[in-house]
Amino acid sequence: MVTDKIKALNYCLHYFLYAHDKLHFLTDFLMYLRKRSGITARKKVYVIWQKQLQNWFIVPSQRFTMYLMGHEPLTASFLKKVIKPGNVFIDVGSFIGFYSILAAKLAATVVSLEPDPRSFKILLYNIEISGVKDKIIPINVAAGSSKTFLDLKLASSLAESSFTNYLSDNKIVGVIKVPSITLDELFMSLKLNRVDVIKIDVEGAGLDVIKGAEHIISMFKPRIIFEVHRYARNDELLAIKILKERFKYNWSIIEFKSKHNFICHLVPTVKI
């Protein structure tokens, strides 16, 4: 009995020391991240244990609660059902990497596109600590209808930067030029041999993404997970209309985000 108690105390001590070391590591890492990324105390990032990813995850303060409690649970669960080992998953508007890392942990090969350089830095750190670095190709670029440079309106909330009129003027903190490439060009340059799932979340610019992906959509008929933003000047339902009429896709809503946007699943009526 005494021996068992000693073993239990010894185990608790070792666990405490392990947790203490991990806490110091994460604190040091967070300080390093802030220094390297230029994120000040007014724009904090936090290291959390993200239960859906089963991994440490770096998040901006504006999205702390969302990722801590569980990010888009219906969409995340749906993705787990459709991603298969060996699939190629293109994450358009990957933000800080939640879906890219989730797909990589499901043994998919992931191409992760994020144009905002602030979010892209966090994305790289999250990939680094995720344990699936070899599965993800991160690219600091936008997906659009042509190869060009676009004006990216930087939002005070990192998740809302946009190329469209989606943002109100009081949320814009700057405008920068970023490179844009079509998904068709990306497919050729990376020498991919398949595309199985595309996730699109681009704050109103989804129509241009679809226009630049007509070849791979025609060839591979990938599933598309699409966060639709509905605003008078940038209604992404137009993109769904093209997918339905030109490429014979059906669609259904996975979950609602607000009265202006929802996440849907598009699948071809005839899968090759």
Residue 1, judged by CB atoms within 10 A of its CB (0-12, 13-18, 19+), counts as exposed
Close Cβ partners of 94 (under 8 Å, ≥ 6 residues apart): 100, 112, 113, 114, 123, 138
Comparing 168 with 259, the larger pLDDT belongs to 259
Give per-residue pLDDT as tens, 231-240. 756 679 999 9
pLDDT-derived band of residue 259, with 50, 70 and 90 as boundaries?
confident
Structure tokens at 271: 């899968």
Mean pLDDT of all residues in the chain? Answer: 86
Which of 41-50, 65-74, 84-93, 96-105 is predicted with the least confidence, judged by mean pLDDT? 41-50
Comparing 35 with 89, the larger pLDDT belongs to 89
Give per-residue pLDDT as tens, 179-196. 999 999 999 999 999 999
- What span, in angstroms and rounded, lies between the C-alpha atoms of 16 and 1? 23
Residue 169: predicted pLDDT: 78
Average pLDDT of span 162-172: 79
Which of 85-99, 108-122, 228-242 is predicted with the least confidence, judged by mean pLDDT? 228-242
- Kind plus residue range of the DSSP H or E element containing 150: strand 148-155
DSSP letter for each residue of 177-240: EEEEE-HHHHHHHTT-S---EEEE--TT-HHHHHHTTHHHHHHH--EEEEEEE--TT--THHHH
* Helical spans, DSSP H, in 90-195: 98-105, 117-130, 183-189
pLDDT-derived band of residue 24, with 50, 70 and 90 as boundaries?
very low
Whether the Cβ atoms of residue 205 and residue 144 lie closer than 8 Å to each other: yes
Residue 158 clears pLDDT 90, i.e. is over it: no
The residue written with tokens 């990216």 in the block is: 152
Residue 128: predicted pLDDT: 96
Q: What percent of the chain has pLDDT over 90?
A: 70
Give per-residue pLDDT as tens, 100-112. 999 999 999 999 9
Residue 231: predicted pLDDT: 75
Residue 41: predicted pLDDT: 41
Comparing 8 with 109, the larger pLDDT belongs to 109
Close Cβ partners of 270 (under 8 Å, ≥ 6 residues apart): 221, 248
